[in-house]
């Protein structure tokens, strides 16, 4: 997560906890070994908008251009 904005929250936990959370959120992920003890994580790229009560209220695709994504998020905030 160090390569991303510090306001983003990454998933962390044991392998079993991560697998359970991925299953609950219907997320695909796979560790891909790059060699030299380096790896990458292939994963789905949705943005889950969660309300203060912990409910998922919107699933935004991560490949939207910035302006349409901003419009969708502003609509949800209002």
> pLDDT, tens digit, for every residue of 25-54?
888 999 999 999 999 999 988 888 888 898
How many distinct structural domains can be found in the chain? 2
Model pLDDT for residues 50-65, shown as the tens digit of each residue:
888 988 888 887 777 7
pTM (2 d.p.): 0.62
Contact 59, 48 (CB under 8 A): yes
Find out whether 67 and 74 touch, Cβ atoms under 8 Å: no
pLDDT in the model for residue 71: 85
Nearest residue to 28 via CA among 45, 10, 50: 45
In a shared domain, residues 4 and 28: yes
Please indicate, yes or no, whether residues 51 and 78 belong to a single structural domain of this protein.
yes
Report the half-sphere exposure of 67 (CA within 13 A, side-chain side). Answer: 0
**38 and 75 fall within a common domain:** no
Q: Is the pLDDT of residue 11 over 80?
A: no
* Chain centroid, CA 76 distance in Å: 18
Average pLDDT over residues 8-33: 90
């Amino acid at each position: 997560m160090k390569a991303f904005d510090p306001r983003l929250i990454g998933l962390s936990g044991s392998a079993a906890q991560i697998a359970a959370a991925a299953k609950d959120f219907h997320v695909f992920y796979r560790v891909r070994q790059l060699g030299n003890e380096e790896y990458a994580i292939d994963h789905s790229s949705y943005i889950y908008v969660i309300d203060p009560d912990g409910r998922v209220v919107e699933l935004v695709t991560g490949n939207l251009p910035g302006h349409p994504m901003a419009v969708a998020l502003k609509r949800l905030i209002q």
